[in-house]
Amino acid sequence: MGSISTTVSIDSLKNMKPSVALELKRIAIREATGRYRATNPRVFGSVLHG
């Protein structure tokens, strides 16, 4: 696969600001949007909170 990912526990994501959680997962989000050829991805509350 060759991708670099940051391992973050679900509990720690629940206790941080959304902007910080997104920054930690930025690479994974960009890889997923590229894989599915999404052009304007949106991340909202239900995705961050599980």
| pLDDT tens, position by position, 3-43 | 444 566 667 767 788 788 888 889 998 999 999 998 888 87
- The reply to whether the predicted model has a pTM over 0.75 is no
Question: With contact defined as beta carbons under 8 Å apart, do 18 and 48 qualify?
Answer: yes
Domain of 21, in residue numbers: 17-44
Nearest to 22 by CA among 1, 49, 43, 50: 43
Counting the structural domains of the chain, the total is 1
3-state percent helix, strand, coil for the chain, nearest multiple of 5? 55, 0, 45
What's the pLDDT at 3?
Answer: 47
Above 90 in pLDDT, residue 50? no
User: Is residue 34 included in any domain, yes or no?
Assistant: yes
Question: With contact defined as beta carbons under 8 Å apart, do 39 and 15 qualify?
Answer: no
Above 70 in pLDDT, residue 47? no
User: Is residue 32 included in any domain, yes or no?
Assistant: yes
> Which pairs from 16-19 meet CB under 8 Å and 24+ separation?
18/45, 18/48
What's the pLDDT at 36?
Answer: 92
